[in-house]
Structure 1
């Protein structure tokens, strides 16, 4: 059972183990940065002191925008400055990350435009295709992507476009892929998921954590007998996944976004906030942020969590740094 909030906690966190307070610090705060439409793909760009993210899909004909929020101030808490639309429509953009050349974007696609992993050059905002097929077959709905230090891209591809009605029937399974831009090779690295979603490497890149949000099928549904957990894999020779095991079951809701800090602690979203686990899978506590879908580390010292809650973005400073 979570402990009652301590002095100064208010309703911003739930503590399951006292060591959680050392992660957050005694003066923990979680103020709202801005009230806006913010759902997925948060990426902090240090060179710009700006946060990029994607919006909630609109009802009817699906449409998603990529947004850029300019931040002001050198120290926490930051102030929201200029909010601008970078790209709309965005071919149903979802998860995003950075590589050395620009912003890597998971484009889920539509019935008319195929899914792909693309790259947007930040200065010019020109967009190019990185990869859009595996063995001649189209992707489903690329959801999240992460870069490995060797330059390879690892991404998940559930069939949310089909179940949400904006994509045709899949040509491939709900796979996890590794793409090597240097060689053009794309390979399936995991096929045991119902809805593979978020993914993140451990600090030493020896373990890859992948969330499964199968309990959430069509919007508004929740099937308790379907996956709402995080699974871990050993990364073998830098390119293959071995020794699959359960890391943690997340409740309430599903673990959409996932990140790690420099100590190897695992952060995942839930229906009520951001849950934090030890590297062994013990739940330390939760930063309360109802309705959170995704989040990221950022700020000049990479020690601030930017938490997206569909109608607002929270900011929370922690006593650690993101990977």
Structure 2
């Protein structure tokens, strides 16, 4: 087995590790292309600004990202940043302050950004839509399940039928800023047109990332129970991506045939995305892992320390979040993200 040469470490901020591309199966070559590259765009050594919710806006080239909640020093509110491309090829980070309590995952939605707000002890966890331009007006779309508060909404996904699917672990409560859970840890589906809210999947320790296959016949859910928000780590708990088939009965979707799609060999699989060929990408303990549609680990995009999430951009381009660093990844020009490919269906 031949591995491509690893690129040298690109910066000396927090975290240890190597940057580069590690081929595990030959199929990774088609994803990398002939000239894969990692470019460090922005680094902040004092605060993990690049943690979650990377949303690429194809109309402007802007990227919205969310920082990480810091403990045990008393914590600090989570920041939302707008990363703005400049004519000279550089990027500028602008910290914005929309009315979104403890934001986490997000996705493109109706020309703006749909956030999972984890909530606080005073404000419920909710789905909140934000305008993508200043003054960043917001609108709460959903803040309860039939009268009971969600625990700590984590990551959303949008189906072509207009429904919003999202995960609900307990990280907000575990980290001390959210209310005590009132529901099990579950995956939900919300239909904004009818107001219908349904629990779709349970028996998950900490449901986290969520993504559809290109044809929307499968939904992938990451379970990050191996690392709980209290700091409790246990390698015997799931660090697993589960796959479910989506079937329809009387016109309504149900999830069947739950199975293990993949288990992360380093850290936990946090945010998850798919490309238009059905490959599955997830941020893990040493960077971004890439699996084939059959669950075969093809290779890794190695980063110094944890990557919680990623966002596809223009064909052959990806943004990788690395806590204290934001990277731009150049892959084969044939690689395209499913979310952007489906964007017309979101409007």
Aligned to 2:34: 26
Contact 1:64 1:88 in 2 (8 A): no
Q: Distance in 2 between matches of 1:61 and 1:267?
A: 30
Q: Structure 1 residues 138, 8: CA separation in 2 closer, same or farther (over 3 Å shift)? A: closer
Measure, in 1, the Cα distance between the counterparts of 2:262 and 2:128.
Answer: 31
For 1:256, the equivalent position in structure 2 comes to 270
Deviates more, 1:231-240 or 1:166-175: 231-240
Please give the TM-score of this superposition, normalised by the length of structure 2.
Answer: 0.87
3-state SS, counterpart of residue 293 of structure 1:
coil
> Could you tell me whether the CA contact under 8 Å between 2:272 and 2:281 is conserved in 1?
yes
Distance, in Å, in 1 between the alignment partners of 2:180 and 2:5 is: 53
* Residues 1:202 and 2:213 aligned together: yes
Counterpart residue number, 2:169? 158
Counterpart Cα distance in 1 of 2:186 and 2:33: 39
Instruction: Give the corresponding residue for 1:146.
Output: 157
More displaced stretch, 280-289 vs 114-123:
114-123
The CA deviation at 1:9 is 5.2
Distance in 2, matches of 1:62 and 1:171, equals: 25
TM-score (norm 1): 0.93
Q: Secondary structure at the match of 1:22?
A: helix
Q: 1:40 matched to which residue of 2?
A: 52
Q: How far apart are 1:7 and its partner, in Å?
A: 4.5
Partner of 1:269: 283
Residue 13 of structure 1: how far off its partner (Å): 1.5
Contact 2:98 2:138 in 1 (8 A): no
2:70 aligns to what?
Answer: 58
Residues 84-233 of structure 1 aligned to structure 2 (within 5 Å): 84-87=94-97, 90-123=100-133, 124-233=135-244
Any conservation in 2 of the 1:62–1:166 contact (CA below 8 Å)? Answer: no
Query: Does the aligned pair in 1 maintain the 2:98–2:136 contact within 8 Å?
Result: no
After superposition, the CA RMSD in angstroms is 1.7
Inter-CA distance 250–139: structure 2 relative to 1 (3 Å threshold): same
Q: Counterpart of 2:38 in 1: which secondary structure?
A: coil
Find the partner of 1:322 among 337, 344, 347. Answer: 337
Alignment coverage as a number of residue pairs: 315
The separation in 2 between residues aligned to 1:220 and 1:32, in whole angstroms, is 29
After TM superposition, give the deviation of residue 61 of structure 1 in Å. Answer: 4.3
Q: Which whole-Å CA distance do the structure 2 matches of 1:7 and 1:190 have between them? A: 42
Q: Structure 1 residue 16: deviation in Å? A: 0.7
Name the CA distance, whole Å, in 1 between partners of 2:159 and 2:63. Answer: 21
| TM-superposition CA deviations, 1:221-253 (whole Å, max 9, x none) | 321111100000111126221111110111210
Consecutive unaligned residues in structure 2, runs of 5 or more: 9-18, 339-347
Distance in 2 (CA, whole Å) between partners of 1:54 and 1:89 is 14
- After the TM superposition, list the runs of 4 or more consecutive aligned residues in structure 1 that deviate by more than 6 angstroms: none
Pair 1:292-2:307 in alignment: yes
